A and B are shown apart, each in its own frame.
Chain A
Amino acid sequence: MKKLYRMLISINATALMILMYLIKEKSWIAELGSCSIFIYSIILLFFTKVCLVLRVILKKDSIQSEITEVSITTDGYIAVFLGYIFVALGISSGDWQTLMFVFLIVNIFTYNSQTIYFNPLFCLFGYNFYEIHTKMGTKLYVISRKKNIKGTRGLEFKQLRRINEFTYIDEEK
């Protein structure tokens, strides 16, 4: 189950590439023309929402003792986000094989890398990406809706779900 979920959010994180390619290729749903962009976007957002809801199948976890360091790292992932767009735009017209191959490779890397699960679309649902160091020296990434995290005093994450050993998603607001 866990593996399936990881696969799902990995595909979700990179699906933007497919969307960009469809727009570039002007592959519209028949009769809808360029309005298809909205349909595509809604599908993608729905897919993202499903991923977020399905986190309940993951194991529960928590951080209830001292956090020694916290920093927001969402901005760093803009590069990843742009990367997906440029790749999609760079593939020549009608070259579906290349697109699928690149999509597959990127997915394999995302799935196997422990930290690049961050999905730019999560931002739209109010999630941010935090890097956290615990007292025992563990460094982890938490995808959380918590706002205004400044400093580590009293900072706790009581309802986490474990995506993998280093990435957690927070259920609290």
Chain B
Amino acid sequence: MDYLFAKVKDRRNPYRILMADQATYEKPETLSDCIPYEATHVLDDGQWFFVERFSEKHYCLDLITNEKLNSVDFVEINKVDPERMDYLIAYQNTAEFYFQRIFKHTVIRNKKFLHIGDDVEIKEEKNALELKDVPDAVYLQTEDRLYFRKLEAITPIFRGIEELYREATKEEVESFLQNDFINLNDDFCAEKVKKANRKRIALAMNTLDSFSKKQKKEIFDYTNEYFPNLQYDGKSFEISNEEDLKNLLYGIEQRLYTTPVTNERRCASGVFSLNVE
């Protein structure tokens, strides 16, 4: 039997049964078009990221590791207040879980709709939730894989999953900017680093750690070659704004390349590895 649960703000009974015997979501057709999660990859339309062996991860939910669920083990939701719900979990075909976050804009309060069918009539919706066509995340028990499209959308569901891709903390940004190869100019400092660059710094820190001194030098020369405007004296880059920092971080991530035939210089906005493990 298919169930629909809601996660509510309640420590003792966080999962409440909403209804049974009706499928809520359809399995997305494009689920087979998927790649392992890579922070740097920008998904195509309909493409999905996945996390393998999800049940072994510390951010996996206890609920979905159960062999089979019984609605009778869950308390019913009393005063149904959509704003008290965090997300919906649909359990379907005894092995599929679908997740949808609930936001203020998905709650429909006191809205009138013109229903156009055999009869045209005005219908009033006092308290409803909009169900998305495509859920935010899908977990298939048989494959033990979690599929999702936007990591930010599911981090409140799977606490800790952000470790897959996170922003650098203020301290990390500061220590990154204090590296020898960076020369700060024009009062540019850690406070001025915006979200996008903080995420790139978190990645670049790991990348840099894996490089030897010689490799680092190579990277800096390569960056300089593609961004001649980024001042480089052979030892350090002059960073005076977000754009400079972004270019340097692109260089560290080796996002810059030249097309082999047309000889065009390019920067990849998203990348994923083609190497087969």
Contact = CB atoms under 8 A, between A and B. Distances in A.
B35 interface: no
Interface residues of A, number: 17
Contacts of B68: 64-66
B39 interface: no
Interface stretch (B70-78, B183-191, B224-232): B70-78
Contact of B70 (A59, A60, A62): A62
B62 to A, nearest CB: 11
Contacts of B69: 65
Given A60-B20, A60-B21, A61-B17, A134 B73 contact: yes
A140 B72 contact: yes
A24 interface: no
Nearest to B94: A64
A60 B2 CA distance: 10
B161 interface: no
B80 interface: no
Contacts of A62: 1, 20-21, 70-72
Contact of B73 (A59, A136, A158): A136
Given A59-B76, A165-B76, A64 B70 contact: yes
Given A65-B67, A134-B73, A138-B70, 19 more contacts: A59-B20, A60-B1, A61-B17, A61-B20, A61-B72, A62-B1, A62-B20, A62-B21, A62-B72, A63-B70, A63-B72, A64-B1, A64-B68, A64-B70, A64-B94, A65-B68, A66-B68, A134-B72, A136-B73
Interface of B: 1, 17, 19-21, 66-73, 75-76, 94
Interface of A: 59-66, 134, 136, 138, 140, 158, 160, 162, 165, 168
